[in-house]
A and B are shown apart, each in its own frame.
Chain A
Amino acid sequence: MEALMTFIFGSWGSDIAKTLWILLKIIAVVLPLMLSVAYLTYFERKVIGYMQVRIGPNRVGYHGLLQPIADALKLLFKEIILPTASNKILFFLAPVLAIAPAFAAWAVIPFDLNLVIADIDASLLYIIAMTSIAVYGVIIAGWASNSKYAFLGSLRSAAQIVSYEIAMGFTLVGVLMCANSLNLGKIVIGQVGGFWHWYVWPLFPLFIIYFISAVAETNRAPFDVAEGESEIVAGFHVEYSGMAFAIFFLAEYANMILVSMLAALMFLGGWLSPIPFIPDSFLWLLIKVAFLLFCFLWFRATFPRYRYDQIMRLGWKIFIPITILWIVFIGGMMQTSWGYLFH
């Protein structure tokens, strides 16, 4: 392939070949991801349905299995309405900005030993950076729509995401202290040797905080004040219809899968099997992620929505102090003879 490219493009050939190869890898990750997003919505409707003693979608296809496809087609054919006096460029830029970081972060996620698109040293930092810019989509969508509800939603979400990002960042500091590395692959390898070696145990408070912050970061119930159907209609994407809305939807679910994936990698040993004599496999990762995603849905079906000031209080006054204290505690313990427990 490289030789062919060199033949066609001259000295740029090898670079272009490399780029194409990377593109192929990206498609190999993104396509299944899109598919899992689609079936996550189905899963959600089914799970919540059963929790509320309903059946959920069951008309399209066998047990409603074609429902997500039908939804996607419906959204594709709907008209995208541009509100009057809205900022046209930004209005269409917003969904793109929402989905791009949600996909871009997947570049450094290892699915198995050495099975990763880009094995960079600071992959954890890269992921934090990518998740932190996801908020732009929400803010810009709210502002560009020229609507009160959308604007309120975007302001809420901006404040919320920025606040919880701090707590989330601090929990990751705990992980990298234990793993001595910022590379996700090395973090997983650091947990090798059975489920009692997973970082979830020494970092239990951080794990809980990470997961709750992740729920808040992805704007999911019970922290979904940015949408707040009962107060501000649908929040930041109230003016969006058709495919533009679908992209926001897609981004939200892609982000959910991403944060669950991260939690599985950092705290639950990634692709490692819980018991040493069973072989490690990608399937373990899938099971862990699926369980965490189920928790997301479970929360949604169980908890009432938090009030806005309660969310802020939880983030700033409870999570951040606890994470800082726990990091200091770990740092202290690592200096003592008990330090091996934290590695």
Chain B
Amino acid sequence: MIEFKDFVFYALSFVLVASGLSVITSRNPVTAALSLVLAFFNAAGIWLLLQAEFLAIVLVLVYVGAVMVLFLFVVMMLDINLDKLREGFWDYLPMAGFIGLLMMVEMVLVFKTKEFNLSPVDDSLKSISNTEVIGNTLYSTYVLPFELASVVLLIAIVSAIALTLRDRKDSKKINSSDQINIKRQDRVRLVAMKSEEKYVKSKTKDRK
């Protein structure tokens, strides 16, 4: 009889695989994106089963909470015509399928007989808070790649802005601090005027 834990694992894995398939097969891009969200959730669940709670939560936080929201945002706004994207699918299929199959056979041949030289995770780590363990390793052993990863993100921001920011000439943007700092004197001007009658008179004179 399978254990409860195994049962949870298989349930999560099944949904994970099913939602993964739905990502690539669904006709509606929004459904595909939402399936991906579901897949992330299940992956997080599997991580929780392995007691990697930090990774699980961060997966949900970063991918589900931020990345996919923006992704969905874009997908919803673009009216993607999937039929056009699928054009030529059947033409490419034989070649792509052949290469894919070839790769798969190769991989199976390589992985089937041999074992990877990796040792299983140390059980003693499970008793310590794994947020702390990850933090310690990240900021000591892997500090250099970690910092470089932040530089990569910075570059992504700089490039995204450099490639897309254009000053719009018809922008109606208002500078809020200017708006708040406005004083009465800036908007209203008191003008000392001579009396009305004379003004009218001079005007009429001019006309003549």
Contact between A and B in the complex (any CB pair below 8 Å): yes
| Chain A residues with a Cβ under 8 A of chain B | 10-12, 15-16, 87, 90, 120-122, 125-126, 128-129, 132-133, 135-136, 139-140, 143, 151, 154-155, 158-159, 161-162, 165, 182, 309-310, 313
Contacting residues, chain B, for A158 (C-beta < 8 A): 69, 72-73
Q: How far is the CB of A90 from chain B (nearest CB, A)?
A: 8
Interface size class of B (residues with CB under 8 A): 20 to 34
Please tell me if the beta carbons of B1 and A128 are within 8 angstroms of each other in the complex. Answer: no
Cα distance, A291 to B95, chains bound together (Å): 67
Contacting residues, chain A, for B73 (C-beta < 8 A): 139, 155, 158-159
Closest 8 pairs (CB-CB, A-B): A132-B65, A129-B61, A15-B4, A121-B129, A129-B60, A125-B57, A129-B57, A122-B131
- Segment 16-49 of B: residues with Cβ below 8 Å from A: 30-31, 34, 37
- Interface majority SS (helix, strand, loop, mixed), chain A: helix
Please tell me if the beta carbons of A125 and B69 are within 8 angstroms of each other in the complex. Answer: no
Contacting residues, chain B, for A125 (C-beta < 8 A): 54, 57-58, 61, 131
Q: How far is the CB of A35 from chain B (nearest CB, A)?
A: 29
Q: How far is the CB of A14 from chain B (nearest CB, A)?
A: 9
A139-B76 CB under 8 A given contacts A132-B64, A132-B66, A158-B69: yes
Judge if B77 is at the interface, Cβ distance under 8 Å: yes
Cα distance, A313 to B148, chains bound together (Å): 29
17 further A-B contacts with Cβ under 8 Å, apart from A122-B57, A155-B77, A165-B66, are: A15-B4, A121-B53, A125-B54, A125-B58, A125-B131, A126-B57, A132-B61, A132-B64, A132-B69, A133-B60, A135-B65, A139-B69, A158-B69, A161-B69, A162-B69, A182-B131, A309-B173
Contacting residues, chain B, for A159 (C-beta < 8 A): 73
Cα distance, A330 to B200, chains bound together (Å): 70
Contacting residues, chain B, for A129 (C-beta < 8 A): 57-58, 60-61, 64-65
Please tell me if the beta carbons of B66 and A162 are within 8 angstroms of each other in the complex. Answer: yes
Cα distance, A90 to B72, chains bound together (Å): 14
Q: How far is the CB of A244 from chain B (nearest CB, A)?
A: 18
Cα distance, A165 to B66, chains bound together (Å): 9
